[in-house]
Amino acid sequence: MSDTPAPAPPLRFKERVEMLCTEMIDKGILFPEAMDQFERCFIAEIMRRNKGSLIRTAARLGIHRNTLTKRVTRYKAKNARKAG
């Protein structure tokens, strides 16, 4: 038998979210920024899994394709302003 301790079990989803929220609050991130970042990340991951298909991504998100297009366009505009 080994004297090394067993690895800790992986954190549950709720625990991971709580840790992330605590970190964001500690860093002074405001609610609108947190929601914006979550939405961007969530949409980007689903788009990646759907190989960039707006139709499949919108269906998976449960939103209209036009709504998704507007949000993606808004994110691109915000990124362009940050870069410039």
Domain ranges of the chain: 39-84
Helical (H) or strand (E) element with 75: helix 65-83
CA distance 47 to 60: 9
pLDDT the model gives residue 75: 85
Contacts 24+ apart (CB under 8 A), 1-10: none
pLDDT at 26: 97
- Distance separating alpha carbons of residues 66 and 63, to the nearest angstrom: 8
Q: Tens-digit pLDDT profile for the chain (84 aa)?
A: 567 887 878 889 999 999 999 999 999 999 999 999 999 999 999 999 999 999 999 999 999 999 999 999 988 887 787 776
Locate 45 and state its tokens.
């991951």
pLDDT at 21: 95
If 0-12 CB within 10 Å is exposed, 13-18 middle and 19+ buried, where does residue 76 land? exposed
